[in-house]
Amino acid sequence: MKTRTMTVAAALFALSAPALTAGGADDDNLTINGNIEMTTKAEPAAHLDGALPEVISGWHFRSDETQELEMDDFDNPGMIFVDQAREAWNTAEGSEGKSCADCHNEPESMAGVRTVYPKWNEEAGEVRTIQMQMNDCRENRMGAEPWKYDASAAINMEALISSVSRGMPMDVATDGPAQETWEQGKEIYYTRYGKLELACASCHELNYGNYIRADHLSQGHTNGFPTYRLKNAKLNGQHSRFKGCVRDTRAETFSPGSPEFVALELYVASRGNGLSVEGPSVRN
């Protein structure tokens, strides 16, 4: 019990560390392949109500070595999985014998899609993520089995769809029929969970730029997902990252693809409106 108490105290102390012990966002510029200029700092959207003075990509909180990996597709290990998804894009599956290419032609036809997801689907009467929409296509157009949420095949395809939108600004809608889900996501974002009693905002709004252990806290924007993490040497999805964060508060967590994480994805995506799509990005 004493050890657990000390661990909790240490974590809370780290989150309350003064800014003078931390390193804030750097002033470097991100250009990919020498020609895709990225907006990595932007004015906050009105719906943030002054919560952030500026929205800043997580790229600015990484080391120079990690940043450089994202600046060239030959160095970016996440692009290996994008290439795998290009093969899958052209592969016929399911009872209908169709591939993604049969309906959408080249993957480049998806340019701009990543910028507006998650979004309201009128026919389904719900907010959908990219992975939810992909599985709808697989089941109802291809007659194929749906992918498990955040499984490698799904993450690879989401990375491909993201890659063709790199440089375009995130522009997720928060009003209209999506507003109720957005409000739910906002509530989750500010709710303290677990034995550590931490919310998403505890790290990514109140303490970005500070360090918790060896992790340089960013603002937690999702414009870079799917993200190749050096920590586990694979592409990571947003919901898997959410799950890990909630778990780290010593709480029971939600599942990838759950309504709670769909709502949280919508809200967190909207916090990064104005930042360029970076996926697949590279992070620690």
Which residues carry a binding-site annotation for substrate? Answer: 241
Please, are residues 226 and 237 in contact by the beta-carbon 8 Å criterion? Answer: yes
Catalytic residue among 52, 71, 130, 245: 245
Residues in the annotated binding site = 100, 103-104, 137, 200, 203-204, 241, 245
Best CA proximity match to 240, nearest among 100, 129, 141: 129
- For residues 79 and 278, is the Cβ–Cβ distance under 8 A? no
Q: Which residues are annotated as a binding site for heme c?
A: 100, 103-104, 137, 200, 203-204, 245
Task: Establish whether 42 is a catalytic residue.
Answer: no
Q: Measured between alpha carbons, how far is 88 from 279 in angstroms, rounded to an integer?
A: 18
The catalytic residue positions are: 245
